[in-house]
Structure 1
Amino acid sequence: MTAYALEVQSLTKVIGKKKVVDQVSFSVNKGEIFGLLGPNGAGKTTIIRMIVSLINRTDGAVIINGNNLDEQFKETMSEMGAIVENPEFYKYMSGYKNLKHYANMALKKVSDERINEVAKLVKLEDVIHQKVKTYSLGMRQRLGVAQALLHNPSLLILDEPTNGLDPQGIREFRDYLHMLARDGISVLVSSHLLSEMQLMCDRFAILEKGKLIHISSMKETMEIDEAKEVVFEVDNSEEAVEVVKEKMEALSVKVLSDHQFSVNVNRADISTINRTLISNDINVYGINRVEASLEDRFFEITNKGAREEVK
């Protein structure tokens, strides 16, 4: 039995003479949230539209739970639920009647009990019989998730799902996705909102100009042990900086205030600096690592790719 909910193999899309997506391969584990990152025009939406068969692939394969989309189309599509761009509903109808309408079009039979179940799952049970025109944008997004989950798919695919949501709506939506992942549903989500993807995803891939340039777990990326900025709080920062520079000449040290200085240093050297300060009768009141954000790492990775292209 395959461990992957989704495998994308050498996915390629050519429009005219331009390769919009160029030999992209990645996999999504069962029960994980996997992010596609990249600027607008990087190919994220094109990849998603190829996966859900809204547009044809020039080359490559899509495998869902071990089944090839080309060979077992109906069975494979029934394993997917998707929101591509903003979900659209009949605003003059209630949320329930909209879901009932989609249920009637599903390949699998969807019971009234299942409709009530997904409404509760996305916390719309109290308003499900109200007209959609009374819903906030966040509520309509949740109704979109409910519609995508009606036929009980194992894989949920979302393209820029938090567009237009306010901070509270984004947080609520993120919490729903984490809940779904805990229940065993795999999620593929695309976005250009890096700070949100950092909080949402287990693993991610970075796309640039249609090519996949980086793929890793969020934890590995954020914990990479390169030199990081560390802020020391001491009783006399200028004196402390002189001591550190004398002991470790190669370090980049900067006075921030009378009682704080920063230094770019590997984790292993932090304790060495601390011991050096104490042995020179400088009191240390705090040591804080300035953690890089996903945005910082994103630009490090993309800028590195750009430099390698120039070479």
Structure 2
Amino acid sequence: MNDCIIECCGLTKRYKSKAAVLNAELKIYRGEIVGIIGKNGAGKSTLLKMIAGLVYPTSGELHFFNRAAAGEQSFFERMGVLIENPGLYPNASGYENLKLLAIAYGLKDSKARIEELLQLVGLDSNNTIKVKGYSMGMKQRLGIAVALLGNPDVLILDEPINGLDPQGIMEIRQLILELNKEGLTILISSHILEELSKIATKYAIIHQGEIVEVISREDLQHKCEERIEISVEAAEAAIPILERELHIMKYKVVDGRTLYVYDTDMQIRRITQVLVEHGVMVDSITRHKQSLEQYLLERTERAGELHA
């Protein structure tokens, strides 16, 4: 995957003396689902608004398809955006909402497109119920249909499952995966990290306005994978002993003193005993298992220490 469609280059947004986003560097490739994660007030919404063209950066540049976005309104027209609550007409039906917006956008012959979108998001085009009678989940799905009305290349969603019940969350998750399967690139923020971990292919961790890490799903899964961490005098000396005596084959050498063992059924006491019996001193040995939430907390705490 090497088709970069969005690039944030030192993107900064200041409100008076406070930096809401500071020197954000992020590349987004075609077909990715990028999860923007961080604590409340970290700068997630501001970053998404700058990418969507809703907020002008104080400094830095935004590139689309390797071209600077400044002054190029056509780039922003290729985005579908659902940030905060969708702006819907409460006294109109879902179909009527989309029809009114299609007229406002200047879209001609929109009937088939509207029916297609309503079917895609799981709403009945013949349903005459007014939006004020919709559940929260139905409103969010209609909001996504609104964002898709212009047939965008990129979909930006800010907290799309906030306030939904489990059924609504599942429906939005399935919809996002279906849209991505059809080729849509998606940026999504959510504080429900367990749900985000089910759909995102890459994460940008933002803390106090700064993107402190960009990490792929595979790398994050590897970091959060259950393992036994062993610190010894010399990893090279420990490896043949572990292989020969304990038949441990799933491991990773982190550095000259540290090993990660992924045969997690093995008892820590047994590993320590065998290594010591063969002359390898064990400095420490611990089990490690992190959730996405734990990793995020640890990563943002480290970033906070650097800022202190």
| TM-score in terms of structure 1 length | 0.77
Match of 1:298 among 286, 296, 299: 296
User: What's 1:160 paired with?
Assistant: 159
Aligned residues: CA RMSD:
3.0
Q: Which shifted more, 102-111 or 28-37?
A: 102-111
Secondary structure class of the residue paired with 1:88: coil
The answer to whether the 8 A contact 2:37-2:44 is kept is yes
1:18 and 1:108, CA in 2 relative to 1: closer, same or farther beyond 3 A?
same
- Residue 260 (structure 2) pairs with residue 266 (structure 1): yes
1:164 and 1:268, CA in 2 relative to 1: closer, same or farther beyond 3 A?
closer
The answer to whether the 8 A contact 2:224-2:295 is kept is no
Q: Which runs of 5+ in 1 are unaligned?
A: 231-246, 249-264, 281-288
The answer to whether the 8 A contact 1:42-1:210 is kept is yes
Deviations 1:180-219 (A, max 9, x none): 1110001111122221211121101111111111110122
Secondary structure class of the residue paired with 1:221: helix
- Pairing of 1:96-115 with structure 2 (within 5 A): 96-106=95-105, 109=108, 111-115=110-114
User: What's 2:8 paired with?
Assistant: 8
User: What's 1:63 paired with?
Assistant: 63
Secondary structure class of the residue paired with 1:200: coil
The answer to whether the 8 A contact 1:6-1:29 is kept is yes
The answer to whether the 8 A contact 2:228-2:261 is kept is no
User: What's 1:183 paired with?
Assistant: 182
The answer to whether the 8 A contact 1:119-1:128 is kept is no
1:165 and 1:299, CA in 2 relative to 1: closer, same or farther beyond 3 A?
same
CA shift for structure 1 position 123: 1.1
Q: 1 CA distance for matches of 2:91 and 2:29?
A: 39
User: What's 2:205 paired with?
Assistant: 206
Matched length: 268
User: What's 2:128 paired with?
Assistant: 129
The answer to whether the 8 A contact 2:42-2:209 is kept is yes
1:102 and 1:226, CA in 2 relative to 1: closer, same or farther beyond 3 A?
closer
Q: 2 CA distance for matches of 1:2 and 1:76?
A: 19
1:11 and 1:114, CA in 2 relative to 1: closer, same or farther beyond 3 A?
same
CA shift for structure 1 position 90: 1.2
CA shift for structure 1 position 271: 7.1
Secondary structure class of the residue paired with 2:144: helix
Paired letter, 2:135: S
Q: 1 CA distance for matches of 2:292 and 2:152?
A: 30
Q: Which runs of 5+ in 2 are unaligned?
A: 230-244, 247-258, 275-286
User: What's 2:44 paired with?
Assistant: 44
Q: 2 CA distance for matches of 1:147 and 1:110?
A: 16
